[in-house]
Amino acid sequence: MTEAWAQQVEAWHDFYVIVGGAAAGLTGLMFIVVSLGGTVRRAAPGVRAFVTPTVVFFSSIVVVAAVMAMPTLPAAAVVTVLAVGGVGGLAYMIVIRGHQMWRNSSLDWLDWWWYIALPFVTYLLTIVAAAVIWLRGAFGLLLLGGTMLLLLVIAIHNAWDLVLWMTHQPRGGGADQSGGSGESGGAGQAT
């Protein structure tokens, strides 16, 4: 590990502590909200496309923050974790078939951007950041930081959208099929 690499990563330490801590706390809140939302059909296919990915987005941020906060971790190890994580994130987005869920429901284009397109882009950007870091570009650290911040904003938006939808579900019955939650319509139709 070079001294320059250690100094570059150290400059980002506080950022990753803040972003990782926020993502970890919000992950815990998602578990609480989902466990209290007893009217939501947890086994429904829409859960895989909307609720679980939001937790995965928060978890991805926590893992990247932990890796970036590890002292004396060589650049090669960071690049490997980022590249594998980015490819894994892309594969996950494909496996959950969120796009298919969106097409089969009556959700609007704004939901498609927040739940499918933007997260897909963040995982692509994570791979690009890994490549730039490997090429010893300091821009890779800036790109990674911006990407994790974008993923955090996406996850917060989606979590809030899901919470609004879940709180508007009738007590003791099935899921309301009449509409979504927030201004973007929410994940209500498919979840």
- 184 occurs within a structural domain: no
Cα dihedral sign for 173, 177, 178, 184? positive
Tell me, yes or no, whether 189 lies in a domain: no
In a domain, 89, yes or no: yes
* Residue 71 in domain: yes
Global pTM reads 0.80
The answer to the question of residue 174 being in a domain is no
CB atoms within 10 A of CB 47: 20
Torsion of CA 153, 154, 156, 160, to 10 degrees: 140
pLDDT 10s digits, 122-167: 999 999 999 999 998 789 999 999 999 999 999 999 988 888 877 7
User: Total structural domains in the chain?
Assistant: 1
Q: How far apart are CA 178 and CA 91, in angstroms?
A: 32
In a domain, 190, yes or no: no
- Reply yes or no on whether the pLDDT at 65 is more than 60: yes
Structural domain boundaries, residue 11: 3-167
